[in-house]
Amino acid sequence: MSDSMQLPPAVVVADAEFATATKELAARFPAFDLHCLAAGQSPAELASRRIVGLVAQDVTVDSAYLAMLPDLRALIKLGRNYANIDADAVRQRGLAFGAVARKGPNCVAELAMTMILALSKDLLISHQSVAEGAYRLRGLRPEPTAQWKMAFHWMRHMRLHEVYGKRLGIVGMGEIGYELARRANVMGMDVSYTKRRPLSDEVERSVGVRRAPLSDLLRESDYVCLAVPHTTETERMIGATELALMKSDAYLVNICRGGVVDEDALIDALRSGRLAGAGLDVFTYEPLPADSPLCQLDNVILTPHVGGGSGTTRAGELAIALEELQQVLGGAAPQIDLGRAR
């Protein structure tokens, strides 16, 4: 029997950012010889190990990468957006192929969808008008209600609408954008996205999106959600020129980083009515200064950078993937099974 066959089965985490988390979790998965690749390290450097399982978040896994893992039996994608995985190559190898959702992107996508729904119902003004008894300004008085007797829509807010049938444009289609697209599709929205590298046809179909240039996306969308990292390339990528492309009844939602937007230009657009409204969880300065004009606008929903929800850790997210991998290597089907083309 070869030395490799005498070793315990090895599981490799492909993304170097999980190095510390992998060490923390080793005791929880004693059946595996856990390894996390260092930045730039090839799985071929672990050729002496019998690697049966792979967890990958952002690392590109293609046929060449898989060729370095001859004993591989299962691949678990950490996150449901599998654009970085050559799905055909995985399936040709006959590997078990699944994914697990990540808490972090899910939380941010939930907030983005909450913003969209709240803006569609003019939620802040609706609450304020009820709490302050603004019905009196319309000459109304409270009366008992019944099944067929009620003061339907008594404040007649003009910005109220449904999101069903509206177009959502997502700037950036990473894990957050993918999770938001899933939720928007359930709500009956038409979803487009812009991204430097297009998704494969299969991944686009899996979440029901189509790619569009940024200018077209801005012109066509009823809601635009920003879900890109803040880099030198995305610094103030949405400024006066871009905002002018948007429809006057459209809304901007920013749940990524404040520096992606020219905040002064956004304030001007909101004040002038060139833009219907905005939902903002992030700002140029945080906390948002109390004297910011944004605090005085009634067409903006502001939250204190709560997109990450109650918080998560790399160890917490990796543990979910390793638990799923353990089940799959034990013979169970992946809970999110990507083994067949979608």
Catalytic residue among 17, 45, 162, 286: 286
Catalytic residue among 219, 274, 305, 323: 305
What tens digit of pLDDT does each residue of 80-92 get? Answer: 999 999 999 999 9
Catalytic residue among 35, 50, 80, 257: 257
Element (H, E) at 11: strand 10-13
Domains and CATH numbers, the chain: 3-102+313-337 (3.40.50.720), 105-122+159-302 (3.40.50.720)
Percentage with pLDDT > 70 across the chain: 98
Residue 94 C-beta-side C-alpha neighbours within 13 Å: 2
Q: Residues 26, 6: contact at Cβ < 8 Å?
A: no
305 is catalytic: yes
Cis geometry, peptide bond prior to residue 287 (ω within 30 degrees of 0): yes
What does the radius of gyration of the chain's CA atoms come to, in whole angstroms? 24
What tens digit of pLDDT does each residue of 186-199 get? Answer: 999 999 999 999 99
Task: Say yes or no to pLDDT of 5 above 60.
Answer: no
Q: Residues 255, 111: contact at Cβ < 8 Å?
A: yes
Q: Distance between the two ends of the chain, CA-based, in angstroms?
A: 41
Backbone angles phi, psi at 227, to 5 degrees: -140, 50
| CA 102 – CA 97 distance, rounded (Å) | 16
143 is catalytic: no
| CA 105 – CA 99 distance, rounded (Å) | 14
What tens digit of pLDDT does each residue of 13-26 get? Answer: 999 999 999 999 99
50 is catalytic: no
Task: Say yes or no to pLDDT of 3 above 90.
Answer: no
CA torsion 6-12-16-22 (nearest 10°) is -80
